[in-house]
């Protein structure tokens, strides 16, 4: 009798691995029933990870999206699953305990059946509460092993890790091959080892296609005892996404497995709808290169889920570094040059940072440090001169114990900066916050939402939620969308990068955009040009009233070390630098958020602050003057 096996469609991750955005709720509702009618899925990944932040960024309520999107699958008896990041919940930074607990209650009420919980460092202590809270809420607690390939991440390491997860409450195990670099034979041995020790536990394999192993790894996982295989489908399978449904289905069938047939008519409907979502306007956020597999990634092992943001980061930094190189009479570099330099640097940096598994958020940390090293190197500066605060938190143990040893050069830098290592439970560093946000919402007369879901959203994503509520998120998104579409359609778009557009450019500063039948009148702001803020209404300038000009003739300036968003404080509760404050050389005076992490801006001069030249929350370019000191 053939052995049965099940398939799960990772519709949410298909999008996140391809680019920056996911479909709107009206689009998700169009595609839900055809996915059900395909008849071949026992599970569908509907939400989690960056899903909610992306909804907020384009001005849509994620709670409405999740409830409406999961409902058809609930009604059809197909299990829904989400991805959550343990200590980080569904964001990139640690979450207080009470917010984590509420998240699970809300997600279950919204229709999510299974929580796939992973920790970026594979630390069981960071997942114990996830398993506990998921089960208390009535969800299935699935523990994900973040698969990577290094001298410390052996087959036995993962088998033992599964034992620890199950012991502290995991009801299922996922082999999360987020970069697709798990060697197929090793994947098979890991699954076999777990199956031998835990005959009845459900094991699910999740593999990205990027370097080319995942199809064979799916077969090895199935042959050695996996119950469920995650798949993607066209037009978002392969590339940085996942092995394709049709290929996996046919391969398993040929190997003697029993699994439901695919309704190909409905398959074509889902494929066509998904393609239309890409073509409508999301396509401007998907780099075509993410549609290709790349075996060069076997070496650095960067995950498919971050390749969309990586290509965007490269594009942005390429423009910035070439601007600097041109100014200094040095030859420019291409995106391919930068990519290869980055891949090589990741291989240098990763072991020296203690081999954190290359999964969110630690893949971003390793990538960011590597990219900063590359960019600084192109400018003749030394390695390690820009390490962001999030990465320092990981280095100093605030996310838990690293799998490998830190390099002496990193230890010396920590000692020089008087940084202290933390060896306790990372959750203890983050005090409960729900009551604070509940009070804030009462002051703003904001509704807590059904099952306190709006409270959870605000506490989980404070700044994005405030921008959503004010309408700024929608305005900013539409302005960015219009700018990208115009640049994409402009005849000279390939020859003239957007950041190089001068103030007297001939491209429009105002545009009407129609999204889902609704017309928006927006203004477009180009880097280097003087115009109204994208967040302001038409005809209304967001610029402050002119202030009395300060005498800065003898001032020295703190310069922005990289481009990004300027903040005077890292947390809302902190007090920022102000005019009249004294600073010493080496003091942290501000922060720049870039590539999803916070970078401290350190003053290289001592004196008194006489002016702060950039507003809190505004964008800055590299080498912009940000603080004047005398």
pLDDT in tens, 488-525: 777 654 443 433 333 333 444 455 555 545 555 555 44
Q: How high is the pLDDT of residue 491?
A: 64
Q: How high is the pLDDT of residue 612?
A: 92
Helix (H, G, I), strand (E, B) or coil at 84: strand
pLDDT in tens, 355-403: 998 887 888 889 889 988 998 888 888 999 888 888 999 999 999 999 9
Do 34 and 269 meet the contact criterion of CB atoms below 8 Å apart? Answer: yes
Q: How high is the pLDDT of residue 547?
A: 42
Average pLDDT, the chain: 86
CATH of domain 556-629: 2.40.50.100
Residues β-bridged to residue 258? 4
Domain coordinates in residue numbering, the chain:
6-291, 306-428, 471-543, 556-629
Question: From CA 122, how far away is CA 127, in angstroms rounded?
Answer: 9
Question: From CA 357, how far away is CA 145, in angstroms rounded?
Answer: 10
- For residue 620, pLDDT beyond 80: yes
- Of residues 134 and 614, which shows the higher confidence score? 134
**Token pair of 238 as six digits:** 């392969």
- Of residues 323 and 295, which shows the higher confidence score? 323
pTM of whole model > 0.85?
Answer: no
Picking from 398, 465, 466, 463, the residue whose alpha carbon sits closest to that of residue 427 is 398
- Of residues 288 and 334, which shows the higher confidence score? 334
Q: How high is the pLDDT of residue 518?
A: 53
Domain 6-291 has CATH 3.20.20.70: yes
Q: How high is the pLDDT of residue 358?
A: 82
Question: From CA 71, how far away is CA 68, in angstroms rounded?
Answer: 5
Do 8 and 203 meet the contact criterion of CB atoms below 8 Å apart? Answer: no
| Across 14-19, average pLDDT | 83
Q: How high is the pLDDT of residue 294?
A: 72
Question: From CA 328, how far away is CA 323, in angstroms rounded?
Answer: 9
**Token pair of 51 as six digits:** 């899903």
**% of the chain exceeding 70 in pLDDT:** 86
Q: How high is the pLDDT of residue 389?
A: 86
pLDDT confidence tier of residue 593, bands split at 50, 70 and 90: confident
- For residue 552, pLDDT beyond 90: no
Tokens 């005077």 found at: 568
Q: Which DSSP string do the residues of 459-504 spell out, in sequence order?
A: HHSHHHHHHHHHTHHHHHHHHHHHHHHHHHHSTTTTTS-GGG--TT
Do 612 and 577 meet the contact criterion of CB atoms below 8 Å apart? Answer: yes
pLDDT confidence tier of residue 69, bands split at 50, 70 and 90: very high
pLDDT in tens, 21-55: 789 999 999 999 999 999 999 999 999 988 998 99
pLDDT in tens, 156-193: 999 999 999 999 999 999 999 988 889 999 999 999 99
Q: How high is the pLDDT of residue 16?
A: 82
| Across 447-464, average pLDDT | 96
Question: From CA 446, how far away is CA 192, in angstroms rounded?
Answer: 51
pLDDT in tens, 222-275: 999 999 999 999 999 998 889 999 999 999 999 999 999 999 999 999 999 999
- For residue 305, pLDDT beyond 70: no
């Amino acid at each position: 009798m053939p052995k049965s096996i099940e398939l799960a469609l990772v519709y949410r991750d298909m999008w996140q691995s391809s680019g920056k955005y996911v479909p709107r709720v009206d689009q998700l509702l169009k595609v839900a029933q055809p996915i059900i009618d395909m008849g071949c899925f026992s599970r569908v990944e509907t939400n989690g990870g960056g899903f909610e932040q992306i909804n907020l960024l384009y001005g849509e309520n994620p709670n409405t999206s999740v409830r409406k999107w999961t409902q058809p699958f609930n009604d059809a008896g197909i299990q829904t699953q989400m991805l959550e990041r343990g200590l980080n919940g569904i964001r990139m930074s640690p979450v207080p305990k009470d917010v984590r607990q509420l998240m699970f209650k809300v997600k279950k009420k919204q229709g999510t059946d299974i929580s796939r919980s992973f920790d970026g460092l594979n630390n069981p202590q960071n997942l114990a509460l996830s398993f506990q809270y998921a089960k208390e809420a009535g969800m299935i607690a699935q523990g994900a092993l973040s698969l990577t390939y290094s001298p410390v991440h052996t087959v036995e390491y993962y088998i033992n890790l599964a034992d620890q997860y199950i012991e502290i409450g995991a009801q299922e195990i996922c082999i999360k091959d987020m970069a697709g670099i798990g060697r197929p034979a090793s994947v098979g041995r890991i699954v076999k080892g777990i199956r031998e020790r835990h005959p009845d536990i459900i094991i699910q394999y999740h593999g990205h296609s990027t370097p080319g192993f995942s199809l064979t790894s799916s077969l090895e996982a199935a042959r050695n005892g996996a119950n469920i295989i995650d798949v993607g489908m066209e037009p978002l399978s392969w590339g940085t996404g996942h092995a394709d449904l049709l290929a996996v289905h046919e391969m398993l069938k040929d190997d003697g497995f029993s699994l439901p047939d695919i309704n190909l008519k409905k398959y074509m409907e889902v494929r066509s709808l998904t393609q239309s979502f890409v073509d409508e306007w999301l396509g401007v956020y998907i780099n075509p290169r993410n549609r290709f597999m790349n075996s060069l990634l076997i070496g650095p092992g960067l995950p498919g889920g971050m390749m969309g943001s990586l290509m965007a980061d490269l594009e942005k930094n390429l423009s910035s570094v070439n601007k600097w190189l041109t100014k200094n009479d040095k030859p420019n570099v291409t995106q391919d040059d930068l990519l290869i330099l980055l891949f090589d640097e990741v291989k240098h940096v990763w072991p020296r940072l203690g081999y954190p598994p290359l999964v969110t958020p630690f893949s971003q940390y390793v990538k960011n440090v590597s990219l900063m090293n590359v960019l600084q190197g192109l400018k003749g500066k030394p390695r390690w001169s820009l390490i962001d605060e999030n990465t320092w938190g990981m280095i100093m143990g605030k996310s838990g114990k690293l799998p490998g040893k830190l390099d002496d050069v990193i230890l010396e830098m920590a000692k020089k900066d008087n940084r202290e290592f933390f060896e306790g439970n990372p959750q203890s560093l983050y005090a409960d916050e729900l009551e604070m946000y509940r009070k804030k919402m009462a002051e703003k007369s904001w509704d807590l939402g059904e099952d306190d879901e709006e409270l959870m959203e605000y506490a989980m994503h404070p700044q994005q939620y405030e921008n959503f509520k004010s309408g700024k998120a929608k305005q900013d998104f539409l302005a960015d969308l219009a700018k990208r579409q115009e640049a994409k359609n402009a005849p000279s778009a390939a020859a003239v990068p957007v950041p190089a557009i001068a103030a007297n450019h001939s491209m429009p500063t105002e545009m009407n955009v129609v999204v889902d039948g609704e017309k928006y009148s927006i203004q477009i702001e180009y880097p280097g040009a003087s115009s109204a803020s994208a967040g302001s209404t038409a005809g209304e300038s967001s610029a402050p009233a002119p202030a009395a000009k300060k005498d800065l003739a003898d001032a020295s300036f703190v310069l922005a070390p990289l481009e990004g968003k300027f903040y005077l404080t890292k947390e809302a509760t902190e007090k920022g630098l102000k005019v009249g404050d004294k600073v010493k050389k080496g003091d942290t005076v501000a922060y720049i958020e870039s590539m999803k992490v916070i970078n401290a801006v350190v003053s290289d001069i001592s004196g008194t602050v006489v002016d702060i030249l950039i507003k809190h929350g505004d964008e800055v370019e590299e080498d912009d003057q940000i603080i004047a000191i005398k």
